Structure 1
Amino acid sequence: MERNHDEGGATTAEYAVCTGAGVAFAGLLFKFLSSGAGQQFLTHVWDRITGMLPF
């Protein structure tokens, strides 16, 4: 016996989950980069990048 299942809302739900995960990741990234440890990390990365430049 073969049954047909309506999966019309599945795509919308998947987009909603991905959007929620993206927003949560962006929030965590913002929180980290605006903290003291995040600022030190950015300073370290920037210093390494400018140290590799030939000018």
Structure 2
Amino acid sequence: MNVKVKKVWARLRVLRRRDSGMVTSEYAMGIVAAVGFALLLYEVVTSGQVRSELQAIVKRALSVRM
């Protein structure tokens, strides 16, 4: 192997060994963001207009003749 190829492989080995995961604070922020999004989605889905539209869709689906 020539010197350039060896250097590329050495660099790839170093990059592969790096810790690319999240730290505890990043996990915590991710969980807070996910919970916030879930609450927002829950509020939207349980609002009056959306709830009535979802109920209408379910009623139509259940009343289809096969």
Calculate the TM-score normalised by the size of structure 1: 0.55
Higher relative contact order (CA 8 A, sep 6+): 1
Unmatched 5+ stretches in structure 1: 1-9
The corresponding residue for 1:5 is: none
| Cα shift at 1:17 | 1.2
The corresponding residue for 2:11 is: none
Calculate the TM-score normalised by the size of structure 2: 0.49
> Number of matched residues?
46
| Counterpart selection for 2:26 from 10, 14, 17 | 14
Question: In structure 2, do the counterparts of structure 1 residues 48 and 16 end up closer, same or farther at CA, with 3 Å as the change threshold?
Answer: farther
Unmatched 5+ stretches in structure 2: 1-21
User: After TM superposition, which residue ranges in structure 1, 4 or more long, deviate above 6 angstroms?
Assistant: none
Rg bigger for which structure? 2
Structure with bigger helix share is 2
Tell whether 2:38 aligns with 1:38: no
